[in-house]
Amino acid sequence: MRVYKFGGASVKDAEGVKNLASVLKETGYENTLVVVSAMGKTTNAMEVVIKNYFENKGELQSSIHDVIKYHNEILLDLFDNEHHKVFSVVKALFDELNLFFKSNKSPDYNYVYDQTIGFGELISTTIISHYLNEIGLKNNWLDVREYIKTDNYYRRANVNWDETQDNISSKFNKSVLNITQGFLGSDSNNFTTTLGREGSDYTAAIFAYCLNANSVTIWKDVPGVLNADPRHFENAQLLHHISYREAIELAFYGASVIHPKTLQPLQQKEIPLHVKSFINPKAEGTCVSKGKTIEPEVPCFIVKKNQILISLSSLDFSYIVEENISEIFSLLHLYKMKVDVIQNSAISFSVCIDNIYNNRDKLLQHLKAKFNVTCHDDVSLYTIRHYNEDAIKTLEKDKNVLLKQLTRETVQIVTK
């Protein structure tokens, strides 16, 4: 049993869908589960739809129409017959989306987000499943929400592993090619939940764990795991083979090629993870697996943009001790902040956070009641694994360094 995952870039247009089919033909598709993300930048487009629903209802239908038009163009490029069943199935999904916006009574942004954002995945997998059937690659379309069960922590749901394992064990047919959605699950009330942005990798790992799969392959538009994101750094090098530990470290610090939660379930059952190019599927790519600790021989660079750096100091110059730190972290948890770096001294505490839920102002107001607060918005967090002095000097050149923290293997630098 193998699990394949294709991201949005791999199926951004009709040619991408055709290439997915070619990859399956070239590598084999027996006993295979294919997990697919929304097409291209659909998730971003759906976020605009959701924003308009809350803030600019006059533009809501126009933004939905943009999503419909994009997918219809792909459909027309893939299917010669406009009366093919897939057109009516996709239309029904968009009708369901519109019905939700008309009937919804909840003011909770996170709930609305999770009920609607996943239509991108539902539509992409519907199109791909029908296309594969059309060209003779018979497959079974699965609604992932019937398999992966979670709590109701909308936009970053936690998996109920026991229930998920039971569902997959009892319902999944290993003998056929299966197509399903990444990113999505459902809670105990069968409301849709999401596993966090870019969570399709995690979906693949959940299925692999529950199915005792032989391997997981993530198909990307890069040759494999690189020591740096080529969009931000020059001369990126391929890492051919790395350990689970190293991959988990890279993912934790923000390496975009692997979702942070993906590695843990794979490591528990020693399921190898391959990261390969959908442009050149026969190339070696990167293998993440058990074995002797395999460390990259070059520094690995990671950057996270649009972060917030908050620096606190006590109002009366008293020490910031365990009680204060505990209170700070309670507030960070309350306002659902993802913490990327912390640094403290006797009377100061700094934290670099990702403001996923847009609770920055509420958090600052709460903190200002007890601390002197300095806030830097829109900072960049750079991490170098296996750093050397040249790597640090190159990174710091022409940048305003606000915070710097070194450990034996890792340096993190916050810049403005």
Please write the tens of the pLDDT for every residue from 268-323: 999 999 999 999 999 999 999 987 556 677 999 999 999 999 999 999 889 999 99
Last residue of a domain, one of 159, 182, 213: 213
Q: Is residue 8 located within the same domain as residue 118?
A: yes
**31's tokens:** 């006993």
Q: Is residue 312 located within the same domain as residue 193?
A: no
Q: What is the CA radius of gyration of the chain?
A: 23
Q: Is residue 168 located within the same domain as residue 314?
A: no
Tell me, what CATH number does 348's domain have?
A: 3.30.2130.10
| Angstrom distance (rounded) from CA 234 to CA 222 | 14
Last residue of a domain, one of 193, 213, 233: 213
Q: Is residue 196 located within the same domain as residue 311?
A: no
pLDDT in tens, 179-228: 999 999 999 999 999 998 879 999 999 999 999 999 999 999 989 999 99
Q: Is residue 197 located within the same domain as residue 332?
A: no
Is 295 a domain residue? no
Is 281 a domain residue? no
Last residue of a domain, one of 163, 192, 213: 213
Instruction: Work out the burial of residue 209: count CB atoms within 10 Å of its CB; fewer than 13 is exposed, 13-18 middle, 19 or more buried.
Output: buried
Is 262 a domain residue? no
- Nearest CA to 146 among 101, 84, 112, 192? 192
pLDDT of residue 258: 81
Is 398 a domain residue? yes
Q: Is residue 308 located within the same domain as residue 168?
A: no
Domain count, the chain: 2
Helix, strand, coil percent values for the chain (each to nearest 5): 40, 25, 35
Residue with tokens 């594969």: 132
Q: Is residue 187 located within the same domain as residue 319?
A: no
Residue with tokens 């830097």: 376
- Nearest CA to 406 among 390, 388, 322, 325? 388
pLDDT in tens, 16-51: 999 999 999 999 999 999 999 999 999 999 999 999
Is 237 a domain residue? no
Q: Is residue 28 located within the same domain as residue 128?
A: yes
Is 377 a domain residue? yes
Q: With left for phi above 0 and alpha for psi between -120 and 50, is residue 194 left, alpha or beta? A: beta
> Torsion over CA of 200, 206, 212 and 215, rounded to 10 degrees?
30
Average pLDDT for residues 103-125, to the nearest whole number? Answer: 98
Label residues 93-126 b or e (16+ Cβ within 10 Å = b).
ebeebeeebeeeeeeebbbbbbbbbbbbbbbbbb
pLDDT of residue 317: 86
Q: Is residue 28 located within the same domain as residue 134?
A: yes
Is 286 a domain residue? no
pLDDT of residue 254: 83
Is 252 a domain residue? no
pLDDT of residue 292: 56
Q: Is residue 189 located within the same domain as residue 304?
A: no
Residue 267 CB neighbour total at 10 angstroms: 20
Which residues, listed in sequence order, are joined to residue 381 by a DSSP beta bridge?
304, 414
pLDDT of residue 341: 95
User: Among 80-89, 221-230, 264-273, 400-409, which is the least confidently predicted range?
Assistant: 221-230
* Domain containing residue 79: 2-213
pLDDT in tens, 133-166: 999 999 999 999 999 999 999 999 999 999 999 9
Tell me, what CATH number does 165's domain have?
A: 3.40.1160.10
| DSSP character at residue 66 | H
